[in-house]
Amino acid sequence: GRALGYTMVLPDEDKYSTTRNEMLDQLAYMLGGRAAEELVFHDPTTGAANDIEKATGTARAMVTQYGMTERLGAIKFGG
């Protein structure tokens, strides 16, 4: 398919876990295209829909699976 914007991050060799700061960095670049649309064009498009979906999943996992929130602490929600 045709991509409107594309960012690729090379994987780290033999990496088995991810830090909170690394996940926050991932969120920043996932949502960077949408932020650029807002700043430059003042009119966001649907082009960032997949990025928003991935960022939402990452943010949800940080809270519900990995306990990476100061407010709720190191607990896991759900199954």
pLDDT in tens, 17-75: 899 999 999 999 999 989 999 999 998 889 899 999 999 999 999 999 999 988 888 88
Would residue 76 count as lying in a domain?
Answer: no
Would residue 77 count as lying in a domain?
Answer: no
For residue 10, name the pLDDT band (cuts at 50, 70, 90).
Answer: low
For residue 3, what are the CA distances in angstroms to 10, 16, 72?
Answer: 19, 30, 37
Give the predicted TM-score (pTM) of the model.
Answer: 0.76
Q: For residue 36, give its domain range.
A: 20-64
**The dihedral of CA 2, 38, 44, 41: what is its sign?**
negative
Structural domains of the chain, count: 1
pLDDT score of 6: 66
